[in-house]
Structure 1
Amino acid sequence: MRSRSSPLAGRTVAVTGAARGLGAALSHEISRRGARVALLGHEKAALETVAESLPGPALAVEVDVTDLVALVAAAHTVRARLGRPSAVVANAGISEGGPFLASDPAAWRRVIDVNLTGSAHTARAFLPDLFDTAGYFLQIASLASIGAVPLMSSYCASKAGAEAFAHALRTEVAHRGVAVGIAYLNWTDTDMIRDADQYAALRELRAHMPPPVRRVHDVETVAARLVRGLERRRTAVYAPAWLRLTQPVRAALPPVVLRVSRRRLPRMEAAQPIEYTGPLGAGGLADQVASRRNA
């Protein structure tokens, strides 16, 4: 059932990383509210499958967010086929896990390229449209933007960078009528998180977090909350809502994480070697294939 009372009704919204997981769930929620949805990302067939399942007009555009020339061309295609976007969701993201020194330097850098540079490229490609529509740019961040944890150095660095980028961008474009929001997410039930749980160290990492933090949240519920924030052009959106409580105490988080890590990591290493995971989830593998093909 579509919602015709939504501010998104009749508008165009672009979502990156839309082939699966949160991006697909966001696309469904946005379409249900009467918007035209442009789905961007790897895997044209998967994007088209999601597009065909939406209740409203949709367009699947295969593009790598780290390729600015291709992304600018994709923005032109969206503009020509669906109209200028009134909102853009920079959702595309990948991850890897394991000890920093065990990581593949190229794979580590790729996480930064996709999660941070890809978000900046997305803004660069679509800002002319958002200036024209007085639109809204939503950066998907993470609890990792607020509090870094061991064994996820590339992901934490990329999400902290994406948060800082969004804060800076907001100050530059506010006078042009464009709003910039940041979505802070906890563990969400996507294939990336399910794959991470297959590795003992990452599974233990989450298991020893406080109960509210270690809970994995349903992707449809998270998407619905984010789209409500999108409708209201929120500066910050938290899923779940309690994550907002971490902001006032974020300076205290690194010493707490350090203390816990000093106690837990030696025990984990004594039990078995901590593995390097490589790209996590089907999205990570799809990005690996695409980046190798485009190299």
Structure 2
Amino acid sequence: MSRKSLDGQVAVVTGAARGVGELLARKLSARGAKIALVGLEEDELKRVAARLHTDSDHWYADVTDHASMARVAEQVKARFGRVDIVVANAGVATGGPFVDSDPESWRRVIEVNLIGSAVTGRAFLPALVESRGYLLQIASLAAITPAPMMSAYCASKSGVEAYAHSLRAEVAHKGVKVGVGYLSWTDTDMVRGADRDDVMRELRQRLPWPMNKTYPLGPAIDRIVTGVERRATHVYAQWWLRGMQSVRGYLPGVIGTFGPREVRKVEGRAGQISRGLVGAGGEADEQTRSARGSA
């Protein structure tokens, strides 16, 4: 598949304050793209913008807020004149047994990861139709295989995968391409936050190779950038994820067979798992909602 130059293209990245979003913005900028950063951590967004190589700007917005994202889309179009690429990357996570989970945190994972992705697509699709552009929806290994103690995250990422596949068929005749990006455990604040819970870390380490490793962020983002350049329908941040597609139909049965054994080993300590959102991004989301509720 041929690559399309990113020089002069305008790319929107949500969840751009840190982790995948930050490094992706930096590498897209290094390829010549102009960058619109969207997220909840305004100071961090300013810091990221200051490190970019090309024209950039940032917007403070909650991706689940239709009015805010519609405003951002209008302002990005006014600021740069066009939108060629949108990467729906914003996401949060929580872990632990479903029955003991905090209902608000569980719901928020679905809201940010799934509803927020749809809100992002709805806001920017008119501009992408004009430019015959590209929407990359960031999903996860969690979309390919279920995992115990991760019900909200797996449900949300399975949802965004299905949403993106459906959307691709709807907008292809308008010249818009839609891709899905898959990442395994990658060295980000979210994964490091999850690893602070001993039980969640142990469960992950018991997964079969190569799913039990944490992968460096840089090579993963390089693969995603290549996918953006190629307007790829599937983008795999780790090489082996492509092979998982051919066996994904068997994975629920495998997890259903071996998962209960692993869960029983840690069941007595499950109450130690944090019930809130993990990582610095999760903390920022909780602080934003708290401030909004007290206003």
CA RMSD of aligned residues (A): 1.3
Distance in 1, Cα, partners of 2:179 & 2:270: 41
In structure 2, which of residues 209, 212, 224 is the aligned counterpart of residue 211 of structure 1? 209
1:284 counterpart letter in structure 2: G
Q: Which residue of 2 aligns with 1:144?
A: 142
Q: In structure 1, give the amino acid aligned to 2:201.
A: R
How much does 1:273 deviate?
A: 4.1
Runs of 4+ residues deviating >3 angstroms: 270-274
Aligned residue number for residue 175 of structure 2: 177
Rounded Cα–Cα distance in structure 2 between residues aligned with 1:272 and 1:83? 51
CA contact (8 A) 2:97 2:270 kept: no
Q: Deviation digits for residues 126-168 of structure 1, max 9, x if unmatched? A: 0011000000000000010010101111000000000000000
Q: Distance in 2 between matches of 1:221 and 1:42?
A: 26
Q: 1:279 aligns with which of 277, 280, 286?
A: 277
Residues 188, 219 of structure 1: 8 Å contact kept: yes
TM superposition score normalised by structure 1: 0.96
Q: Which sections of structure 1, spanning at least 5 residues, go unmatched?
A: none
- Deviation (angstroms), 1:215: 1.3
Where do 1:1-295 residues align within 5 Å? 7-270=5-268, 273-295=271-293
Separation (CA, whole Å) in 2 of partners of 1:119 and 1:250: 23
Whole-angstrom CA distance in 1 between matches of 2:229 and 2:196:
36
| CA distance in structure 2 between the aligned counterparts of 1:137 and 1:254, rounded to whole angstroms | 29
Q: Deviations over 1:200-227 (max 9, x none)?
A: 1210111001121111111121111101
1:272: how far off?
Answer: 6.4
CA–CA separation in structure 1 for the residues paired with 2:271 and 2:39: 35
CA pair 200-27 structure 1, distance change in 2 beyond 3 A: same
**Do the aligned residues in 2 keep the contact of 1:99 with 1:274 (CA within 8 Å)?**
no
After superposition, the Cα gap between the structure-2 partners of 1:269 and 1:285, relative to the gap in structure 1 and judged at 3 Å, is: same
Question: Are the equivalent residues in 2 in contact too, given 1:6–1:33 (CA < 8 A)?
Answer: no
Structure 1 residues 216-265: Cα deviation after superposition (integer angstroms, max 9, x where no partner): 11112111110100000000011102101111111100111122212111
Secondary structure of 2:246's aligned partner: coil
Task: State how far apart, in whole Å, the 2-side matches of 1:30 and 1:276 are.
Answer: 35
Q: How many matched pairs?
A: 291
